[in-house]
Amino acid sequence: WIGDGAVAGEARAGPTPGMPALLFNNHDGCGDMLVRLGAVELQVVNTLTNAFFAAAGGAILSRASHPETKCNGVLLLVVAWFSSTYHATSSWGGFLLDIGAMALWASHLLVSCQSACCAL
């Protein structure tokens, strides 16, 4: 939430008693509409657009015959799931899952490209 005095990227506790939800506060909600749901902040559009990653991953996985291509489909499904987790909660844990999944997918793509170049 803008104007709460927090520093960009700082963790802050959610409003509910008990175990706090550490929210990743970057002061812009990733450019999305924020909906407060208890201790979490839902980024509506960013959460819904992860369905496109899931659709692409599912399409690749269902049509792929090569193991590296199948792995690409699985990793896109992982990106969709973990990115949804982050954008649906705005939590630090979700942020780390989101970044980790994207880094893993990007690394797989680089290794796949290197393998394809070596096969030429």
At 12, which helix (H) or strand (E)? strand 10-12
pTM over 0.95: no
What is the average pLDDT value for the chain, to the nearest integer?
83
- Nearest of 75, 40, 37 to residue 57 by alpha carbon: 75
For the stretch 42-69, pLDDT in tens is 899 999 999 999 999 999 999 999 999 9
Residue 39: count of CB within 10 angstroms of its CB: 19
Cα–Cα distance measured from residue 6 to residue 4, given in angstroms and rounded to the nearest whole number: 6
Helix 67-89 × helix 44-63 angle, to 10°: 170
pLDDT of 59 reads: 97
Cα–Cα distance measured from residue 115 to residue 72, given in angstroms and rounded to the nearest whole number: 14
